[in-house]
Structure formats: structure tokens, C-alpha cells
Structure 1
Amino acid sequence: MSSVPTRQKYQRTEHQPERRLGVLSIAFMIVAASAPLTAIAGGAPTSFAVTGLATVPAGYIVLSAILALFAFGYAAMARFIERPGAFYPYVAQGLGRSIGVGTAYAAVVAYNMMQIGIFAMFGFTVSSWLGGRFGLETPWWLWVLVGVVIVGILGILRIDFSAKIIAVLVALEFLVVIVFDIIALVVAPEGHSAAPLNPAELFVPGIGAVLSFGVAAFMGFESAAIYAREAKDPKRTVGRATFLAVIVVGLFYAFSAWSMVVGVGHSQVVDQSREFGPDLLFVFLSTHAGTLVTDIANLLFITSLFAALQAFHNTVARYFAELGNEGMLPHWFGRRSQSGAPVSGSLAQSALAVLVTIGFVIADSGDPLFPVLTMFTWLTNTGAFGLVMLMAMVAAAVIAYFAKDARGVGLFSRLIAPVIAGLALTTVFILVLVNFPVLMDMPADDFMTYLLPILVILAGVIGVVVGQIFKRTDPKKFQGIGHALEEETDPGALTSATTTHTS
């Protein structure tokens, strides 16, 4: 028996990912995870309906401002941490390695919930569309399984191939929403009031629910660092892609939600949102643009969900791979293909999606809306809860990281912006927690309103415990947590030179 550096082991079995992704490629995958058409067609009417407020567009403005401030510190830290894993290495280097592991575990649970929840909406939408358009009756879970297979196959191919498909789908999403926006602004039955865009009009009792629903529309914007290994110039690409995504998504959501208010009418948008729900956009298009445009929009709604599925799948697979590389999960999770795609992580995510779907199929009450009202709603809102919590932690990590060494970064980016963003994100997190029964559409005393958030927090606690165990039992491995790539002298190496493995 001899001690062999893990770095050497992985050099024999793994392949360095090729740096193929530029700013636009990563920005498209960030935007895809936010699913623009899904956010406008599904998220905006739901927000109008539940909150009873027409000021939802202002909520998007407030959230985009918060996330833009967050991006200043995030991008500044990205210049010094060329590590995939998004939140994981940032928290590890800012707040400590054990907390970093806890962040990674919680993020894996949150991202998986987001991705698997979207599968439910995808399966339901495809099944409904086939039934309504062609009279073909199929179970929703069949299309979930088909989606899992296609997404899984793309997940183990070259990342730039997946990025090109996502870019095309996102461009088409933008196109159909822009068509809706133009028609809505032309119809404008009650004129073009700018009041719904005024953040000052937002600060009413319903603000908590508005921000709680709205924050889910931005999920995935922070994922640029996930692709650090595959980015052409990660020190610049991560920050630029993040800023681009925040600006584009924030302005686009606010403008499109405002267009919905204008097109339907300020006095009618809440009532019609409650009547039609996510079908409001399609009902509007069928009335004012005809059947062909509506059919195209419905089809692109499906591809919007697919693009989001692919983006979140890529994120989860890379989290699995990094945790496997550093020994926080079994090492086989770190295996990659010749092109650098995280094969084991991709397969693990696909298997998990199938298992969770089977669980919900068994529990299916027979309600036609079960996959949307239960599987989609429960999992995506819990995922959003977890990601807001993690972003608040990253803001604190940025402050702590630069407090040790300013590294020439300006005061605004290393302190002022992350402090404001951290306080704002903590506030949003509390609002999400307080409004969680509303998000779940369940009574406040229902056990599930407590269980699901606890799962995310519990994963984080387990991660911290795992980190502490490694600190005591394997100090060398512990030192590599969240720091592995920075300690490499060989740019082609994949994992920590400090990690050891007994063979």
C-alpha cells in the first residue's frame, strides 16, 4: 500500500476541459436557466394573481438592482478565484472551508430541486399541448422521462454544443415575448401608465409575496462561475457574463411584465391573471395575433422549459464533479469525458431526477394539475429559497475575503456593494421564508411548509459536519477544499495537489 497524490491519479483518468465558452455563450446559459418565456408567461401572472398588485414590474426592477450590486462583489472575487463550483469556492475562501462544504451541499439540493421541479412543468406542458392540439392523451411523467434522457445526453457532450442549442432556444424565447410586448403596447386598452414600473409604488403590504415570487425568475444568474474550467478567459468572462445576464434579464422582465399590465389593462390584469393563470399570455396572443402565433408561442414555451432544464442540469453536474474531485463526494463523481464534460455528475443528476419523479408519480392524487401544483411548485420554490440563502452567504464571503487583502479592488466592489446586497438578500430571504406557505399554496401550519426548507438547511449542516470531519481526519484534503485549482502549478491539472488517496 502506498500513498499516491490524487492529482496524479486524476491526470491518468481525466481530461482537462477545453476552454470553448466566451461571454455570450455563458450569458445565454445563465439567461436560459432563468427561462425568460417561462418567467413572463408563468411567473408574472402568478405574481399578479397571488399578490393582487399591478406593481409586479417594479419588483423585477428592485430585484435586478439588488442582484447587480451582488454581481459587483461576485465579479471582483471571480478575478482571483478561477474555480468552478460557483458558491462553493467563494464561501470556502471567504468564510471558511467547512462552511464552504455546507454551501456546496445545500446548493446541490437547491439546484436539483429547481431542475427536477421544472421537469414536472415540462412533462405537464408537453402532455397538455399534445392533447389540446392533436387529441393525443399521454401521461405527464412519460415526457419527464423523455426529457431526462435528452437532457442527460446533451449533458455529457461537448459544452459548446449544448451552449449553441441553448442560445438558439433563448433567442427564440426573446423573440416571442418581444412580439407579445409589441402587441400589448399597441392594444393598451387603458393607456400606458408608468406607475407599475415605479419602485415607490411597490412598498405596500404585498411586497413580500412580490419579491418572493419574483426572485425565482432570476435563479441561475449566478452560475457563470460554474463554467470557469470551460471559459476562454475565466478571470474576465465570469464577471462580464454575470453583469450582462443581470442587466438583460432584469430590464427584459420588468418591461415585459409592464407590457402585460398595459396590454390587459391596469384594472383587469389581476382578475385575468387569476382567471387564466399561466395561460394569460397565450389567451392574449390568440385574441390579438391569431392561432399560428399562439401555436408557435406554446411550442416555444416548451423549448423555454427545456433550455432551463439543460442549464440547471449542467450546473448540478459540475457541482457533483467538483465535490468528487475534492473528495467531498465519492471520487467517481469527478470523472469527465474526453471533452471535459462531467459524465458521472450528469448521470447522477439524471438518475436522481428519475427517482424523484417516480416518487411523485406514486403519490399522484389524480388531479390533472398535480405535477404543476405539487411537484413543480414544491420543488422550485424550495430551490429558490435555498439559492437566496446562499447568495446572502456569498455576499458575506466577498466582504470577508477582501478584508484579509484588498488586492487592489476598489472600496465599492469589495465592501459597499456586497454589504448593501447582503442586507437586501437577507431581507428577501426572510420575506421568502415568511411567505413560504403562500408560495406553496398551502396552510401555514402544514408540515410540508417546514419540511422542504429544512431539507436545504439540513444539507448545509451535514456539509459543515463533513468539512469538520475532514479537518480532523485528513488535514491535507481539508486544505484543498475550495482552494484546489489555485494551488496547482500545472494549468492542465484537474484537482488538488494536496489531496491524497490510499491505493
Structure 2
Amino acid sequence: MAVEQLTTPSTHSPPRQGIGVSHIVFFVIAASAPLTVAAGGNPQAFAVTGAVGYPLAFLVLTAVLIVFSGGYAAMSRHVTNAGAFYSYVAQGLGRSLGVGTSFVALVSYNAMQIGIYGLFGFTAADLFKSQFGLELPWWAYVLACIAAVGVLGYRRIDLNAKVLAVLLVIETAAVVVFDAAQFLNPGPQGVSATPLSWHALTTGAVGAAFCFAMAGFMGFESGAIYGEECRNPRRTIPRATYAAVILMGVFYAVSAWALAVGAGPGHVVGAAQEHGPGLFFALGEQRLGSAFGDIANIFFLTSLLAAILSFHNAVARYSFALGREHVLPVALGAVHPRHSSPHLSSLAQTGLAGLTVVVFAVAGLDPLATLFTWLTNLGALGVIFLLTVVSAAVIGFFARNKRGEGLWSRVLAPVLGGIALGAVFLTALINFDVLLGTAKDSAVTWSLPCVLLAAGTAGVVFGCFLKSRRPHVYTGIGHGAEGGTQLSDGVTAEAQV
């Protein structure tokens, strides 16, 4: 039987775009939304976990992710694919597992991006009501945001990078000013190193503390997604990954420490339970005046916009990679002839986000307690699982061919990183009810992780189907960038297997 030949539309070969290390770092850090972590995540972590030593969790995870990145960055030097995790697992553990991974990634990144819309809608509605007396439903602001993100996602990636750079600088400046104010004018206990001690961390719910801290790093792994759009992916992706991990880890640890210093280590848990996210703004206003609270609230909104845009771009590129290889509808693998963007994948993600928000709005569900909390925790759990699986994929990939990489990158880093990340995943799963704020036997607590299980299982089964019924498609799984259909100059990449 003749093997069907896959055709490559000419629109799959646009000019290479010139994004470098700094651009990718902006995408990665913007996805974690620094002001959102500082103002929203940190107070919530203190309140829920009761761990005064929560800032130390960021530093511990920084070390873990640096170790993980030893293998991850090494593999990125040999595999350049917009599918990132999908292609890594396909080439390291097998194509069917790669498809299963891609389905989990699509669910996870979509959940993260769409979930953040819930917090955006809640924050925008509250801000415009308090500042301008304008009362509109939360979903009206979200739909407007979806439209804006859709327009940006449709256009060139370098335009997105410029927008994210501006937003990231603004929100980072707000957090730096807040941190400096707390250390220069500390709370009743002065500048104390207690929040950085292991004892202070373990006196609370340490497992949940690591889960909250891990959520702050969401997006660090997405640098590889932009490999096909880099000037020199073999050097750019590893450098951007290490830079993002170190910058985020240190920055978030200092910000959490500043929050504890401002309230006082002995009072921060109680203050966080009383004020919630408002603690950041309250402490800021105490030391910097009421104007800081007003400005920071606006920056908080732009921080969410930056995170949404960054995740939108990641999802669009995953869909593009799967469409290019005919795992998803081939139209999703098209590239805009002028903007050099995966425009149809971007439109598909925009449509899915809009539909999901409409469903939640019609059902009358709370945007913060359901849309945001359910979906972002689902997404974070999925990404932690993906990191663990990729660690195993790195070992499998280099087991067949060392490709000039050392023992640390090929074996030691992925083994140590995989063990540590596996422990974080199990901890997150065990503490999922704490993260959701639901009962342990609640249907939501167990059904959300089952969504990831169902997605992964469906992907593996579909991969097996492709192997038996569509071998011409199965053969290309995880190898899209090698076939000349990349987000670059249309020149086939160097053979990577």
C-alpha cells in the first residue's frame, strides 16, 4: 500500500523572526505575572499554609528547577519544535506518549490562560466600580480582554514581545518599590531573617507552601516553545531558561520576605488571613501613601493581561505544532504569510476562551472561586506533571545517542530533577483540596485531576490509533520542525535524530 505523502502549504515557511534571550525571558516571566504573585499569590500562601518560612520555598524550588534545566536545556539544543514538551517526550519516550503529553499540555495551558481571565474580570469590575463608579458584569471586561489578546496573538511575535516588555517593566517596578518600602520601614519585628529559615517553613503546611511557590514559576518551561522563532535557538533557549528561573526565584523570594517583614513575621499569617490579597496594597499604602494603592491596582490588572497574552501565545504554538503534524486539524498548522504567526491556532484559542467564559457567565458561577481557582490549579498541576515526564524523556533521548552532552546533562540532572518534581506533583495532588479551598471528598477535588488523566489517556490511545491506521502521520509525530514547516525561514532544520 502506498504511503500517503503529507503536503506542506507555502504559508508554513515565513521569514525567520529575530527574538532573542531577552524577548523569551519577557514571555516566560510575564506568564508568571510578578505583581500577581506578589499581591495575590504570596498573601494567599501565607494565609492558607500558615508557613512563615514560605519565602524559603521559592529558593528551594529555584535550586530544583536549575537542576531540572540541566537536562531540559541540553535537549533544547538538539530538538527545536514549537511543541516543546510534546516533541521532547515523543523523541525521548515514544510517539504515542508524546501525543498523550500534548493533550495534557493543551488542557493545562488552556486552563491556566482561561482561568486567569476569571481573576482579570473580578479585578477589573471591582476597580472600575470603585474608581469610576462604572458597574459592568465581570464577563464584559473579560470579553473585551479576549478580543485585545486575540488581536495581539494574531500578529507578529516580536510585537507581542514589545507589549509584554512594557507591561513587565511597569509591574516589576511596582513590586520593587513595595519591597524597598517594607525593608526601609519594617514592621514591629524589624528586618528579620526568620522567614528564610527551614524551621519557619516546616512549622506550617510545607507541602501546600511548595505548591503555591511552584505556581509562581509557571511558564518558565515555555521558552522552548519559541525555539523556531529565535535567531539562534541552540544558545538562546538554554540561556533564557536559566535566566528566567534564577530571576523569578530570587525576585519572588525577596517579595514574599518583604511582605513578611512589612507585617512582621509573627503577624503575617494572621494579617494575610484577614486581608487576603489586600494585604499587599494595605502595607503599600501605609508606607507609600494611598496613591500607591490606586496605581498598584491598575498595574495588577496589566500584570494579568501580560500573563494571559503569554499563555495565549504558548497555547497557539502547541496547537500549531500538532496541526502541522496532522495530529490536530491541519489548518491549525498554518502560518500567516505577513505576520509569521500561527494565526489560525491563535484564533482557535481565542474562540475557546470566549466560549468557556460565556458558559461560566451563563451558569452564574463566581469568576474568582470557580473560573480562576479551578482552572489555574488544574493547569498548574498539569504543568508539574509534564515537567516530571520530560525529565524521563531527557534520559530516554540521550540514552540512544549521547550527542556530545556530559553525564550531568544526560543523566544526573534529569534524574534528580525528576525525583524532586515528582515529589512536588504528589504533594500538590494530596493537597489539592487545600489549594481549591474545597473538602477532600468534594467532587471538584477529585474530578479536576481526572480531567488530566482522561486527556493523557485519550492522547495515548489516539497515538496508538495513528500508528495502526495512519502510519504516515505517526512517523512525523514530534519531528515537525525537521520537515521544513516551522515558524522560521522555511529552511529544514539540522537533523536532530
**TM-score w.r.t. length of structure 1:** 0.94
Give the equivalent residue in structure 2 for 1:214. 213
| Structure 1 runs of 4+ with >6 Å offset | none
Q: Distance in 2 between matches of 1:207 and 1:459?
A: 29
Q: 2: CA distance between counterparts of 1:433 and 1:207?
A: 14
Deviation at 1:363, TM superposition (A): 2.2
Mapping of residues 189-268 of structure 1, within 5 Å: 189=187, 190-199=189-198, 201-204=200-203, 206-268=205-267
Q: 2:111 aligns with which of 94, 113, 116?
A: 113
Partner Cα separation in structure 1 for residue 219 and residue 77 of structure 2: 20
Residues 281-306 of structure 1 deviation map (CA, whole Å, 9 limit, x = unaligned): 11111221112222211111000000
Q: Give distance in 1, aligned partners of 2:22 and 2:5.
A: 37
Contact 1:317 1:349 (8 Å CA) reproduced:
yes
Contact 2:17 2:158 in 1 (8 A): no
Measured on the aligned residues, the alpha-carbon RMSD in Å equals 1.8
The corresponding residue for 1:392 is 388
CA deviations 1:150-189 (Å, max 9, x no partner) are 0000001111001001011111111000000000001212
Unpaired stretches in structure 1, ≥5 consecutive residues: 497-503
Q: Secondary structure at the match of 2:277?
A: helix
Between the aligned partners of 1:471 and 1:257, the Cα distance in structure 2 is 49
SS of equivalent to 1:228: helix
135, 144, 147: which is aligned to 2:145?
147
Change beyond 3 A, Cα 1:350–1:489: closer
**CA offsets per residue over residues 225-283 of structure 1, 9 Å max, x none?**
11111111111111111111000000000011001111110111111101111111111
1:489, CA displacement in angstroms?
11
CA shift, 1:480, in A, is 0.7
Residues in 1 aligned to 2:19 and 2:31: alpha-carbon distance in whole angstroms: 16
Counterpart selection for 2:467 from 443, 457, 471? 471
Give the Cα separation in 2 of the matches to 1:44 and 1:110. Answer: 22
Query: What is the alpha-carbon distance in structure 1 between the residues aligned to residue 292 and residue 480 of structure 2?
Result: 51
Which segments of 5 or more consecutive residues in structure 2 lack a partner in the other structure? none
* Cα deviation, residue 488, structure 1: 4.9
Per-residue deviation, 1:417: 1.2
Q: Partner residue of 2:44?
A: 46
Structure 2 letter corresponding to 1:173? E
Query: Alignment partner of 1:6: what SS?
Result: coil
Does the 8 A contact of 1:212 with 1:431 survive in 2? Answer: yes
The residue matched to 1:336 in structure 2 has which SS? coil
Measure, in 2, the Cα distance between the counterparts of 1:293 and 1:283: 10
Partner Cα distance (1:364, 1:443) in 2? 22
- Mapped to 1, the partners of 2:255 and 2:57 lie a distance apart of 12
Distance 2:213 2:69 in 1: 18
**TM-score under structure 2 normalisation?**
0.95
- What is the aligned partner in structure 2 of residue 374 from structure 1? 370
- What is residue 452 of structure 1 aligned with on the other side? 448
- Show the counterpart of 1:167: 165
Alpha-carbon deviation of 1:19?
2.3
Q: What are the residue-to-residue correspondences of 1:275-294 with 2, within 5 Å?
A: 275-294=274-293
Q: In the comparison of the two structures, how many residue pairs are matched?
A: 489
**Partner residue, 1:85:** 83
Percentage of matched positions with identical amino acids? 46
Please tell me the residue identity of whatever aligns with 2:160: S
Contact 1:6 1:495 in 2 (8 A): no
Q: Decide whether the 8 Å contact of 1:16 with 1:494 is kept in 2.
A: no
| Matched AA of 2:254 | F
Shift of the 84–199 alpha-carbon distance from structure 1 to 2, 3 Å rule, reads: farther
Partner SS state of residue 9, structure 2: helix
Shift of 1:202: 2.5
Q: Which segment is superposed worse, 426-435 or 398-407?
A: 398-407
